[in-house]
Amino acid sequence: MSNNVLLRVRGLKKWFPIRRSPIDIIKGRPQLYLKAVDGVDFDIASREIFCLAGESGCGKTTTGRLVLKLIEPTEGEIVFDGEDVTKLEGELLRNFRKKAQIIFQDPYEALNPQMNIMDIITEPLLIHGVVHSKDEKIEYAIKALEDVALKPAEDFLYRFPHELSGGQRQRVAIARAIVLKPKFIVADEPVSMLDMSIRAEILNLMLNIREKYNLAYLFITHDLAVAKHICDRIAIMYLGKIVETGKAEQVIDNPLHPYTKALISAIPVPDPRSKIGDIPIKGEVPSPVNVPSGCRFHPRCPYAFGRCREVEPKLVEAEPGHLVACHLF
């Protein structure tokens, strides 16, 4: 893992300031922050599929946007291919954009309804000055459409998004993401808007594309079953922090953190012989504005003891490659 690190993230934080009303300012109330991402470390190797998983509001999408420099971090280090992403500007930033792309959750909103498929797919090429003639454009578009198995490609060039199904639109979004031959793609819930029968084909397509173009993915999902089947490594996030990370099988089949355990035990399975057991954790996720002291999971944790309320646990290696942030380990 350490030998060919493509993306290195250390101490990444994103605090969104909460707007203060004039009364708050007059009364001198302190500025509050929504701590969406609050100190996250991870590495992604080239060709690796790394998954960020967690419930809504845990900061997984914000992390994905941060590593692509779509938003600026409050603090922390993002090193992509040896370069510090946070400091990139101008030509260097444009160069980075060629290497790192994104696929969004909703293929209905991610494509401009007024552009035809060829223009959607080739827009990145125009922005980066890769193509100069119409013939070149068509050539690239056909190649990309074939890569995402929209065949015959010629039939799709002049169609518009509204003429395509959800699965086909997501293929177009993937084609647009790979047309610049990036090394890295952030895939933010790429299948959660799609029908069950379509999900598998999009996931399989993403795996094929990784083989073909030697890509790495940051795969963001709330669905741990999907994560287990597609990802190499998983990190579980809770309230802006990674609480557990390791190989997909390690984390899913042998979860160590009490939160991960509860999360996995709460997932129903397509087998009537196995039912959801008792869920040991209480309440719901607290607000990321008032993060609990110590371990941020302690108010809901059935095993919490004194230390958990005071000291924030660090990620420590519980077994080779399997890290957990919990005072029990």
d(CA 257, CA 261): 6
| Residues numbered 201-240 forming contacts with other proteins, rule: CB under 8 A | 201, 203-204, 222, 224-226, 228-229
Can you tell me which of 249, 292, 299, 329 binds other proteins, judged by CB under 8 A?
249
Query: Given the rule CB under 8 A, which of 3-11, 123-131, 276-284, 305-313 is the region that contacts other proteins?
Result: 276-284
User: Smaller CB distance to other proteins: residue 25 or 289?
Assistant: 289
| Residues numbered 116-135 forming contacts with other proteins, rule: CB under 8 A | none
Query: Given the rule CB under 8 A, which of 43-51, 114-122, 179-187, 244-252 is the region that contacts other proteins?
Result: 244-252
Q: Smallest distance from the beta carbon of 5 to other proteins, in angstroms?
A: 24
| Residues numbered 75-94 forming contacts with other proteins, rule: CB under 8 A | none
Q: Smallest distance from the beta carbon of 236 to other proteins, in angstroms?
A: 12
272 binds other proteins (CB under 8 A): yes
C-alpha distances in Å from residue 228, one per residue of 46, 153, 232? 19, 32, 8
Can you tell me which of 279, 289, 311, 316 binds other proteins, judged by CB under 8 A?
279
304 binds other proteins (CB under 8 A): no
Residue 286 CB partners (closer than 8 Å, separation 6+): 239, 292, 296, 299
Q: Smallest distance from the beta carbon of 166 to other proteins, in angstroms?
A: 8
d(CA 136, CA 132): 7
271 binds other proteins (CB under 8 A): yes
d(CA 187, CA 172): 14
Can you tell me which of 125, 175, 187, 248 binds other proteins, judged by CB under 8 A?
248
Neighbours of 212 (CB within 10 A): 10
User: Smaller CB distance to other proteins: residue 145 or 203?
Assistant: 203
225 — phi, psi (to 5°)? -70, -45
The number of residues in the chain equals 329
C-beta pairs of 106-110 under 8 Å, 24+ apart in sequence: 106/193, 107/166, 107/169, 107/170, 107/172, 107/173, 107/193, 107/194, 108/161, 108/166, 108/169, 108/193, 110/169, 110/173
Kindly tell me the sign of the dihedral angle through the C-alpha atoms of 140, 109, 193, 240.
positive
Half-sphere exposure of residue 201: CA atoms within 13 angstroms, side-chain side: 14
The site map against other proteins for 156-175 (x = CB under 8 A) is ---------x-xx-------
Q: Smallest distance from the beta carbon of 108 to other proteins, in angstroms?
A: 12
Can you tell me which of 195, 310, 317, 319 binds other proteins, judged by CB under 8 A?
195
| Residues numbered 59-78 forming contacts with other proteins, rule: CB under 8 A | none
User: What are the structure tokens assigned to 194, written together?
Assistant: 């799609």
User: Smaller CB distance to other proteins: residue 112 or 204?
Assistant: 204
The site map against other proteins for 10-39 (x = CB under 8 A) is ------------------------------
266 binds other proteins (CB under 8 A): yes
Half-sphere exposure of residue 245: CA atoms within 13 angstroms, side-chain side: 18
Asked if 141 and 117 touch (Cβ cutoff 8 Å), the reply is yes
d(CA 213, CA 153): 19
Residue 88 CB partners (closer than 8 Å, separation 6+): 69, 96
Binding-site ranges for other proteins (CB under 8 A)? 55-56, 165, 167-168, 195-201, 203-204, 222, 224-226, 228-229, 248-249, 252, 262-264, 266-276, 279, 281, 284-285
